[in-house]
C-alpha cells in the first residue's frame, strides 16, 4: 500500500511540475512576443505600436539617470529616437517570471559617435487581465550602474 501511495504522489508531482513548466514557457513566450512587438514597431517608426506594448504608468530610462513617464513624454522620446535613425542589433534574451511579474534581459548594440555602443536592456513587465504582458519599467542602460562608483 505504501508503495502505491508513493507512486501516486510521484505521478501527481511530475504532472504538476509539467503543467507549471508549460505555463512558465507560455509566459516566457508571451513576454518575448511583447518585446518583439515593441522592437519591430520601433524599427518601423510606429510610435502607436511601441506605446501599445507599455502600460499607461510605464517609466522608460531615456539615458542613465533620466526617467521618462507619461504618454506625451514617452511618445516624444520614442519619436526622437526613431528620427535619429539609429538601428539596434539585439542579442540574447533571458526571461524570468514570478506570478504576474516578468523580467526581460537583453543585450543590444547600436552605432555611436565613438564606435558601437553595447548595453543591457532590463525590462519589467506585468501580466494584463487578458493574459497579455505589457512593459512597466524599461531600462535600456541597465548595466550603466556597473560604471558608477
N residues, the chain: 149
Would you state the pLDDT for residue 76?
Answer: 96
Query: H or E stretch including 78?
Result: helix 71-84
Would you state the pLDDT for residue 5?
Answer: 60
Would you state the pLDDT for residue 31?
Answer: 96
Residue 32 has pLDDT above 80, yes or no: yes
Alpha carbon distance 66, 87 (integer Å) = 21
Domain hosting 101: range is 2-147
> What is the per-residue pLDDT across 92-130, written as a single tens digit (0 to 9) for each?
999 999 999 999 999 988 887 888 888 899 999 999 999
Tally of domains in the chain: 1
User: Taking all residues of the chain, what is their mean pLDDT, rounded to a whole number?
Assistant: 85
The least confident of 14-18, 30-34, 53-57, 122-126 is: 14-18
Alpha carbon distance 100, 45 (integer Å) = 29
Report the interhelical angle of 71-84 vs 2-43 (nearest 10°): 70
pTM: 0.81
Residue 93 Cα to chain centre, angstroms: 9
CATH number of the domain bearing residue 61 = 3.10.450.50
**Residue 97 contacts by C-beta under 8 Å, 6 or more apart in sequence?**
24, 27, 28, 31, 103
Amino acid at each position: 500500500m505504501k508503495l502505491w501511495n508513493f507512486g501516486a504522489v510521484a505521478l501527481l508531482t511530475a504532472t504538476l511540475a509539467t503543467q507549471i513548466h508549460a505555463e512558465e514557457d507560455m509566459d516566457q513566450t508571451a513576454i518575448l512576443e511583447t518585446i518583439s512587438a515593441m522592437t519591430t514597431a520601433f524599427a518601423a517608426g510606429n510610435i502607436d505600436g511601441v506605446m501599445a506594448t507599455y502600460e499607461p504608468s510605464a517609466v522608460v530610462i531615456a539615458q542613465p539617470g533620466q526617467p521618462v513617464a507619461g504618454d506625451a513624454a514617452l511618445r516624444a522620446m520614442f519619436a526622437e529616437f526613431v528620427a535619429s535613425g539609429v538601428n539596434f542589433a539585439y542579442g540574447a534574451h533571458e526571461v524570468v517570471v514570478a506570478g504576474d511579474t516578468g523580467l526581460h534581459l537583453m543585450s543590444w548594440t547600436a552605432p555611436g559617435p565613438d564606435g558601437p555602443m553595447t548595453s543591457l536592456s532590463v525590462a519589467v513587465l506585468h501580466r494584463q487581465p487578458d493574459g497579455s504582458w505589457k512593459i512597466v519599467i524599461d531600462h535600456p542602460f541597465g548595466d550603466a550602474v556597473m560604471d558608477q562608483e
